[in-house]
Amino acid sequence: MDPSKTFHISRRNFLRKCSATAAATGLPLWFVERQLASAEEPAAKITSPNERPRMALVGCGGQGSGDARDAMRFADIVAVCDVDQSHIEKAVGRFTKDGKKPEAFSDFRKLLERKDIDCIVNGTPDHWHSLVNIAAARAKKDIYSEKPLTLTIAEGAHVVKAVRDNKVVLQTGTQQRSSQRFRMACELVRNGRIGKLKEVNVWLPAGYWPEKVGPFASAPVPAGLDWDFWQGQAPGVDYVPERCHTWFRYWYEYSGGTMTDWGAHHMDIGYWAIGLPAPTKIESKALATPIKGGFTTISDYEVKFTYPNGIVFNVRSTRDDNPFGGTVNKDGQRNGIRFEGSDGWIWVSREALNASDRELLSKPLPDGAEHLYFSNDHKGNFFDCMKSRKDPICAVEIGHRSASVCHLGAISLRTGKSLQWDPEKEIFTGDNAAEANTYIAREMRKPYDYSFVS
């Protein structure tokens, strides 16, 4: 066949694919063409049983099971673990393939003793992320970990050390970094498309409204649930249905409310665009007060972070479907990010990418522009890095830094104080530092401290 004709056909197919992608995503053609032209091949769907990694799922609730289902494009689920027997039973049924059932465990440490397991999905509640990740790293298992990576800032150093000492791959599940919309927004901001960046404004869903936040009554522990193990490092309390499973995010004992839930996504993108590791000043205002005996996290809030270069990073909760009153967020999305610069603004969410002037989006970046880490498939990127042993797009240090910004906001809200932060030493300084530093780490209830996975 004539080589020139082959190239012509390939080029035509490439342009057709670019046009289809641009039409489907709403992204400008120049960006789609560059992304597709420069992208490495995504992880292939491996069909040979001898080539597919063997994966275990730790934490078989909805998010963990969803992650594992997605990972089955690349790996076989050979083991599952949960402290709730009902979750285990569902997971065994869900991940049985060709008559082969995954082995069931109630203690993740026993699961990690299996030498044939290559990697895990960590879908546990937030207060278990760090210990499971540390144990998996020490067992030489690669890790796909749900966000936020840690329950406290101090846990981050332990997780980073375990991952790096044992040379394992850890991908934090902040999958928006593998979204073309968010990457394009951050690249435009990084390259000065909106002039000098002045503010990053993030809107997060508010927590549960006052009529839904308690007080809650204790109840008998459901059959099959190891309530003590589920509580882990958190203080031991009587079983309350609204503390467990779906509801854990609204208790500081186990999480940080929407600040660390949705914040782990949108605040990570803000951090990506700013390009600095952490703010140095945090101010906040709680707009709701938790009810005694109910959820402990603050459901409505405003937090202002100031970075060393003067950029202001505002985070606000919203109960409205449209925080912009129909002017900026014309697509009516509930939450998202607006980058404010000296020459315009860019708004990005999971559903939309808009700007003060469409030319800000439609005009190609010049040659030599800064390009960010490319990934269009978060799970695929993880499995690619398992093969190459390179860092994934949301490596352990990124997961730690992103979670830390969320924790800084939560600490300011809990103390009600304006705080100064030293990003290098990872401690509070100046006025109010003594109280704030007590939140960097938490006392871990025995036996569920670091010795539990040593």
Position 239, amino acid? Y
Q: Which has more pLDDT, 39 or 231? A: 231
Determine the pLDDT at residue 306.
Answer: 98
Question: Which structure tokens are listed for 186?
Answer: 């951050």
CA distance 123 to 35: 31
Give the rounded percent of residues in the chain with a pLDDT score beyond 90.
Answer: 81
User: Does residue 292 surpass a pLDDT of 60?
Assistant: yes
| 229: its two tokens | 């193990």
Global pTM? 0.91
User: Residue 332: pLDDT above 70?
Assistant: no
- Indicate whether 95 belongs to any domain: no
pLDDT band at 187 (very low <50, low <70, confident <90, very high): very high
Q: Where are the beta strands (DSSP E) in 29-160?
A: 54-58, 76-81, 103-105, 119-122, 142-145
Give the integer Cα–Cα distance in Å for 305 and 324: 21
User: For residue 322, is pLDDT > 60?
Assistant: no
Residue-level pLDDT at 27: 82
Tell me, yes or no, whether 318 lies in a domain. yes
For residue 48, is pLDDT > 70? no
Is residue 105 assigned to a domain? no
What pLDDT sits at residue 221?
98
- With cut-offs at 50, 70 and 90, classify the pLDDT of residue 10: low
Question: Is the previous residue joined to 215 through a cis bond, with omega within 30 degrees of 0?
Answer: yes
**Which pLDDT score, from 0 to 100, does residue 196 have?**
98
Q: Among 93-97, 118-122, 196-200, 203-207, which stretch is predicted with the lowest mean pLDDT?
A: 203-207
Assigned domain for 214 exists: yes
In a domain, 153, yes or no: no
Residues 6 or more apart in contact with residue 204 via CB below 8 angstroms: 258, 259, 262, 263, 266, 315, 316, 317, 318, 335
In a domain, 45, yes or no: no
Q: Quote the CA–CA distance of 256 and 263 in Å, as a whole number.
A: 10
- Average pLDDT (434-442) is 98
pLDDT the model gives residue 28: 78
Domain region containing 183: 179-372+397-453
pLDDT confidence tier of residue 8, bands split at 50, 70 and 90: low
Q: How many domains does the chain have?
A: 2
Average pLDDT over residues 36-53: 62
Count other Cβ atoms within 10 Å, centred on residue 282: 26
Q: Mind listing the pLDDT tens digit for each residue in 361-407?
A: 999 999 999 999 999 999 999 999 999 999 999 999 999 999 999 99
Residue 284 banded pLDDT, cuts 50, 70, 90? very high
What radius of gyration do the chain's Cα atoms show?
23
- Domain with residue 188: its CATH number is 3.30.360.10
**Average pLDDT of the segment spanning 142-157:** 98
Task: Take residue 76 and report the two structure tokens written for it.
Answer: 């076989």
Query: E-strand spans in 75-139?
Result: 76-81, 103-105, 119-122
Model confidence at 56: pLDDT above 60? yes
Q: How confident is the model at residue 296 (pLDDT cuts 50, 70, 90)?
A: very high
Residue 345 in this model has a pLDDT that exceeds 70: yes
